[in-house]
Amino acid sequence: MSDEKADKPETAVEQRATDQSPENAPEALGEPGLEIRAVGERRGMFGVQGSGDTSGYGGLVAPVVLPGAAQRPYGGWFDGVADRLDPLIEQVVIHRGEITFHVRREHLLEIAQKLRDDPDLRFELLSGVSGVHYPGDAGRELHAVYHFMSFTWNRRIRVEVAAPDADPHVPSLVPIYPAADWHERETWDMFGLQFDGHPALTRILMPDDWPGHPQRKDYPLGGIPVEYKGASVPPPDQRRSYN
C-alpha cells in the first residue's frame, strides 16, 4: 500500500499543502530569477489567533516577503523611463511584468513633477494612491503606492515611498496631481499616513472622531463597539419590505 502511494502523483491540494513557499515567492510565480526580501512573519489567518478556528488556518505560519530589486537591462520601455528618473530612484522592482520605482519621500515631489512634465514621460494621470502597512519592515513600516498612466505612450507604472511609524509623513501630490486629493484622504483615514501640504487632510470613510486607522495590521479585528448617533429603528410592522 505504501509503495502504491509513493508512485501515485500528488493532487493539487496535496501539493499546495506540502509546498512551504509563500504564494508570492518567485518559484510560485514562475519567476525563478527574482530575489525576495523577508519583512515579517504571518501567523494565523489575517493575523488572528485564539479564535477557535478548526479549519487549520489558526496554525498557519508563513513568511511575509517582498520582491527584491531588479537588475538592468529591465527590458522594453522600462529602461527608458528609468533613465529619465535616475538618480532619484532608490530601487526598481519588476514583478509579474509590472514595474515599480521605489523612491525616497524627499524626492517624491521632484519625481512626480518629472513624470508629468517631461515630454519623454508624459504620465498625465495619477489614477490612485494606496497605503500598505508592514509592521516587520523596521523603519519602513508604512508605504504609499502611486499608480501613474501615460495616455501619450500608453504606459503604466507604480511609484512607492516608505515612512517609519514614528514619522509617518509623506509630501502631498495634490499640487501636481489634483486627483490625489481624495485618495490621500482615504490613505490617511485607513493607514495614518500624513500627507504634508494636502489642502484638507480629513477622514473620508470613517467618522471624524473615530480612533485609529482600520486597515493597519495592528488594528484590532472584531469587538469594535458600534455607535448609533441619533438613529432609530422602526417597529417591525413599519419597516421596509424587500419581498
Examine residue 198 and state whether it is found in any structural domain, yes or no.
Answer: no
Examine residue 168 and state whether it is found in any structural domain, yes or no.
Answer: yes
Examine residue 119 and state whether it is found in any structural domain, yes or no.
Answer: yes
Scanning 41-177, the segments in alpha helix (DSSP H) are 78-85, 108-117
Examine residue 166 and state whether it is found in any structural domain, yes or no.
Answer: yes
**175 or 32: whose pLDDT is higher?**
175
Q: How many domains does the chain have?
A: 1
Examine residue 9 and state whether it is found in any structural domain, yes or no.
Answer: no
pLDDT in tens, 184-235: 999 999 999 999 999 999 999 998 888 899 999 888 766 555 565 666 666 7
Angle at which helix 108-117 crosses helix 78-85, to 10 degrees, equals 120
Examine residue 103 and state whether it is found in any structural domain, yes or no.
Answer: yes
Question: How does DSSP classify residue 11?
Answer: P
CA 83 → CA 77, 89, 103, 109, 199, distances in Å? 10, 10, 14, 18, 33
pLDDT confidence tier of residue 80, bands split at 50, 70 and 90: very high
Domain that holds residue 173: 62-180
Examine residue 154 and state whether it is found in any structural domain, yes or no.
Answer: yes
Examine residue 52 and state whether it is found in any structural domain, yes or no.
Answer: no
CATH code assigned at 142: 3.30.460.80
